[in-house]
Amino acid sequence: MKIDKNFFIGNLKTLFYALVIAISIRSLLLQPFYIPSSSMEPTLLIGDRLFVTKYSYGYSKHSFPFSPPIFKGRLYSITPKTGDVVVFKTPSDNRTDYIKRLIGLPGDIIQFIDGNLYINNNQIFKSRTSMSDIIYCGKKTINVNTYIEKLPNGKVHRSVYLKNYGFKNSDLFIIPDKHYFFLGDNRDCSKDSRYLSSVGYVHEDNLVGKAQFIFFSSDFRIASIFSFWKWPETIRTNRFFKKIN
């Protein structure tokens, strides 16, 4: 059987162009992410799939697959806003993707006093909305108080604190130039900028993009993905196309 050389080359070209288009979209426009942990509950749940816009803060080497060192710094840099939910590469390895809420900008001073968050010596207003919520912390469930917090720029979001014990007091965190400070909304179950040895201050070059909306969500802790008869219980249709606040 004779192989049509032109047909073979044509298919290779088609695959190459498709790959280039896919990488371009992923690097410059939108990238899907999966939420594997509970550190951003109740805003983001384990099993949420969401889209992150790569152009929101400009581009760095981390905008591209495998973070190739093709240039230094950020191109078309845009300063993120306090309260944004951001995907970034952890400073400890410059490889692992984390998603947290941006709390502090360069030059800001962050501190926890008696369980209350202070930014630049001003206590962040929070109003309790529930004293009986149960959420995940890893594989365990925890009892939490749920609050609405209002950041200095007017951004409002939900956060939760352990009911019987919480992160009470901290040292002063003075954010260096070109760095940012992030917290998880699940305050007592989040490895974030409070832990300088593992996350700490995040350099602007490590920002990957801004989380925009959830396009799919499922909880396969309830049942295996192969148990299709239980999909009505595991697939969270009420979270489809939900904007991330």
Active-site amino acid positions: 39, 100
Closest to 147 in 3D by CA, of 134, 138, 156: 156
Q: Which residue has the tokens 């152009």?
A: 55
Residue 218 identity? S
Q: In residues, how long is the chain?
A: 245
> Cβ(196)–Cβ(181) under 8 Å?
no
Q: What ranges make up the beta strands (E) of 84-139? A: 85-89, 97-104, 109-113, 116-119, 122-123, 125-137
Order across the sheet with 122-123: list the strands.
122-123, 116-119, 109-113, 173-174
